[in-house]
């Protein structure tokens, strides 16, 4: 299994510097990772560093709590694409999801999808650590019915990240062909393989090199 092509090599901590981003661009090309996932501020750096490579540029919107207004998320996504992003990882409005405001959650996702339509794919972070199994099913159905491309489990800022049982539940819900990104706490090859076997088609990982090296 060429596991590098599943990995979105990720740096989303507050202390990441431009030097870190430039190093990770070199590493992403060297190891053949699918994408580099970074804060919006660094997208233009990645566009320059990755211009002659096949590595996608992913960035985050409404990160990490999903509490921005929909208009702000849409603007942030559109600006990121202008800067060079090809993939948008947005966070749902977790508070509205928890109170059962499903129509708002759907509209929030739609605003971001519309802002980058035809220019970037959208992954929707649902933050599984805060949701019941029933809520995971409901929001996964909403995402599948939208023009987004992936359900993503986690930001890495919640009490827990990706779990095999959550990936299996999402796969059962969205069917065999929809994208699922497992993210949060994936730091070794064995865990990565378990996520893929459960149904993940992408992996978000800051430990991408360790995962590949453990194959």
Q: Is the dihedral of CA 68, 74, 77, 82 positive or negative?
A: negative
* Whether 89 is catalytic: yes
The answer for residues whose C-beta is within 8 angstroms of residue 179's C-beta and 6 or more apart is 123, 149, 150, 151, 201, 202
* Whether 123 is catalytic: no
Q: What's the CA gap between 151 and 127, in Å, rounded?
A: 10
* Whether 152 is catalytic: yes
Catalytic residue (choose from 8, 34, 73, 89): 89
Q: How far apart are the first and last CA of the chain?
A: 9
Rounded to the nearest 10 degrees, how much is the dihedral formed by the CA atoms of 178, 179, 184, 185? 90
Contact, 146 vs 109, CB < 8 A? yes
Catalytic residue (choose from 152, 163, 166, 207): 152
Known catalytic residues are 89, 152, 181
């Amino acid at each position: 299994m060429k596991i590098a092509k599943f990995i979105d090599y990720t740096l989303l901590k507050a202390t990441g510097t431009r030097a870190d981003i430039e190093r990770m661009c070199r590493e992403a090309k060297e190891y053949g990772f699918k994408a580099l996932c970074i804060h919006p501020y660094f997208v233009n750096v990645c566009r320059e560093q990755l211009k002659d490579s096949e590595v996608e540029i992913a960035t985050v919107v409404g990160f990490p709590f999903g509490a921005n207004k929909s208009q702000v998320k849409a603007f942030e996504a559109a600006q990121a694409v202008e800067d060079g992003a090809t993939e948008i990882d947005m966070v749902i409005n977790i508070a509205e999801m928890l109170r059962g405001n499903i129509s708002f959650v759907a509209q929030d996702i739609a605003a971001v999808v519309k802002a980058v339509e035809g220019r970037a794919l959208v992954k929707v972070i649902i933050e599984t650590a805060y949701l019941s199994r029933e809520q995971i099913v409901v929001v996964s159905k909403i995402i599948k019915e939208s023009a987004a491309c992936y359900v993503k489990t986690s930001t890495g800022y919640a009490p827990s990240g990706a779990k095999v049982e959550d990936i299996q539940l999402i796969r059962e819900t969205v069917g065999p062909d929809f994208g699922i990104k497992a993210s949060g706490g994936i730091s070794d090859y064995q865990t990565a393989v378990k996520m893929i076997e459960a149904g993940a088609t992408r992996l978000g990982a800051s430990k991408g090199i360790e995962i590949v090296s453990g194959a």
